[in-house]
A and B are shown apart, each in its own frame.
Chain A
Amino acid sequence: MTQESAYPWREEGATPFISIRNITKRFGNFTAVDDISLDIYKGELFGLLGGSGCGKTTLLRMLAGFESPTSGSIIIDGADMTQVPPYERPVNMMFQSYALFPHMSVEKNIAYGLKRDGVARDEVKERVADMLAMVELSDFGKRKPRQLSGGQRQRVALARALVKRPKVLLLDEPLAALDKRLREQTQFELMNIQDRTGVTFVVVTHDQEEAMTLSTRIAVMDAGRFMQIGEPAEIYENPATKYIANFIGSANLLPVTIGGKSNAVYEVLHEPSQTGFTVSSDKALKSGEEFTLALRPEKILIDKSPLTDYENQITGIVREIAYLGKLSTYRVETPLGITLEVTAPNQVRPKGTGHRIEWDDEVYLGWNADSAILLKD
């Protein structure tokens, strides 16, 4: 067996495991999924991220076989699955509601899929026991789903979906029904299980933080189309559009006009305040073109004393402070006529009761040319 790359999507000519080609799905006049194509590679934990009604669940249901696409095709591991019914696909799904069969015990729920495949009784028993051990529910096999807690039900659903060793596991909002602490813990469990089983996961979620932590790659969806597909860091640091910049994390957005250029660093002008900034970009931009400058709150340094060594510096007055413990978010009124959001870690324990930076303090803000990016729309 050849050594498989940990990042197959980065390589030219790698063979995709799931290939979605020009898929469109219409319900009457409504287009839920609009002519999209996507390649997912073996062993990926792929995140489909978007708000409600963006088409992510429809896409997942087409992968499972519950909906058939209006046009386009789905290929899984070299076989065309477009017209294959759900019960013949090498794909299993974990439902948002978990959909555990209420009249069957936990064991019977997990064994159900194996029995449908005609697996020998002894093997069924063994594999169910293995799965129960994996999700740490060995003592709960005889219980009915209604006798389990939410987190336990979630794990039974996961075990039931994995026991058939599917080529692809589809997860519909797998953590949405859990409370915050359990969600964080389960995130890591999911990643562990994915790592151990080597099954390709496709996760649908509306929670951008969940998508960032879980996924090898994320596709951001809106109105039935992909806005951007990339690794979490790529999407965060290089959002394709203003929408994504704001959907994944938050960003300060400034309308600017391109000026001169030297060494891939452009001079841009914020016209309303006639303030100039520098931004690096490897794209060829024309002078006079209008762009939006996007700047993440944590990429701005905030200080009470004047800053040196920063390519862009402005002053401002702190109007609001949100203290979050490990970091604080400041809303700073600037001479640009807009309020900039800045976050800074609380590295030093403040002496006494006061914060280091207080309301109405005059502060200095600074960032480098490569901290900001230019977006077209």
Chain B
Amino acid sequence: MKAKRSRFLLGMLCFGFAFLYVPIILMMIYSFNYSKLVPVWGGFSTRWYTTLFQSEDVWAATALSLKIALLNATFATLLGTLAGIALSRIHSFRGRTLFTGMISAPLVMPEVITGLSLLLLFITLNQLIGWPAERGITTITIAHITFSMAFVAIIIQSRLAGTSRDLEEAALDLGAKPFRVLWDITLPQLAPGMVAGWLLAFTLSLDDLVIASFVSGPGATTLPMLIYSRIRLGLRPDINALATIIILTVTIGVLIAGWIMIRQQRASAQDAEHS
């Protein structure tokens, strides 16, 4: 009886995983396909990887995407952390409720609308003050920061909500001015949250197609934009190769993030055990 049930559970588990990962694995396998026609197996080959590495378009798009993602993650973490601290540590300021609502609005806003409204903003700004002169890396980065910041703010806020103010008050009591307290006590406590926020902002930016398409200009093509435009002309094996590389990179990133988080959890579990 028991064995039967567990076999059933195991079957369901396998089915679930298959549903999630078979498409990805298939794509990875086809990236090593010699044939130019994607669904037809023509023998093992790494020719598409060679093609990929020789394609200047791909290199340029990758570089652009990484640049935007890095800038975005850094600025979003900075601003989002400050917003998160304001939300959870400053208890009464004028318009606090409005601020809370407005911070989380980008989380639920459809991307199409965010993209469109940002595009309109940039056009208007250009007409009024002549900046941004042309749309490209700057506008995409700004657009990404606006929505990634909200995610970081939520992460920071939830982390701070769970910690007492005692540590910060103790530092104040020992003679540290508020900025010093922020630097010495609050930020070290927030470090894991900030790392998580940074990684999230980084991936959000790398992933984004819709908003980037709206606010990008003629010269700037991000990696998702490049992939999408190529796929529109039909399935291409070199895109499979590109996707495989991206997946491997992301997997390694997630593993590292997970490892950091587990270490953090162990440390805080130890803290809890001793107190």
Contacts and interface: CB of A to CB of B under 8 A. Distances in A.
Interface of A: 64-66, 85-88, 91-93, 95, 97, 99-103, 112-113, 116-117, 146-150, 153, 160-161, 164
B175 A87 contact: yes
Interface in B15-74: none
A191 B166 CA distance: 25
B171 interface: yes
A282 B184 CA distance: 60
7 contacts: A64-B169, A65-B173, A66-B169, A86-B173, A92-B174, A112-B174, A153-B275
A103 B188 contact: yes
A116 B175 contact: yes
A133 B271 CA distance: 25
Interface in B196-255: none
A102 B185 CA distance: 9
A113 B176 CA distance: 7
B166 A97 contact: yes
Given A101-B185, A146-B271, A150-B275, A112 B173 contact: no
A148 B164 CA distance: 20
A74 to B, nearest CB: 15
B173 A92 contact: yes
B6 interface: no
Nearest to A146: B271
- Chief secondary structure at chain B's binding surface: helix
Interface of B: 164, 166-167, 169-177, 180, 184-185, 188-189, 267, 270-271, 274-275
B167 A86 contact: no
A97 B169 CA distance: 12
B271 A160 contact: no
Which residue among B170, B177, B189, B274 has the maximum number of chain A CB atoms within 10 Å of its CB?
Answer: B170
Contacts of B184: 101, 112
A150 B275 CA distance: 6
A62 to B, nearest CB: 13
A112 B164 CA distance: 20
Nearest to A96: B166
List of 3 A-B pairs having minimum Cβ-Cβ separation, nearest first: A113-B174, A116-B175, A99-B170
Contacts of B170: 93, 95, 99-101, 160
B175 A113 contact: yes
A117 B175 CA distance: 7
Nearest to B181: A87
A102 B189 CA distance: 9
Contact of A116 (B164, B169, B180): B180
Given A93-B170, A97-B166, A116 B274 contact: no
A87 B271 contact: no
Given A86-B169, A95-B166, A99-B169, A146 B174 contact: no
A97 B184 CA distance: 19
Contacts of A85: 172
Contacts of A66: 169, 172-173
A112 B171 contact: yes
Contacts of A160: 170, 174
Given A87-B172, A149-B274, 17 more contacts: A65-B172, A66-B169, A86-B173, A87-B173, A88-B175, A92-B174, A93-B169, A95-B169, A101-B171, A102-B167, A103-B188, A112-B176, A116-B174, A146-B267, A148-B274, A150-B275, A161-B173
Nearest to B175: A116
A101 B170 CA distance: 9
Contact of A101 (B167, B173, B175, B180): B167
Contacts of B180: 116
B177 A87 contact: yes
B172 A86 contact: yes
Contacts of A112: 171, 174, 176, 184
Contact of A102 (B174, B176, B177, B271): B271
Nearest to A91: B173
Nearest to B167: A99
Contacts of A153: 275
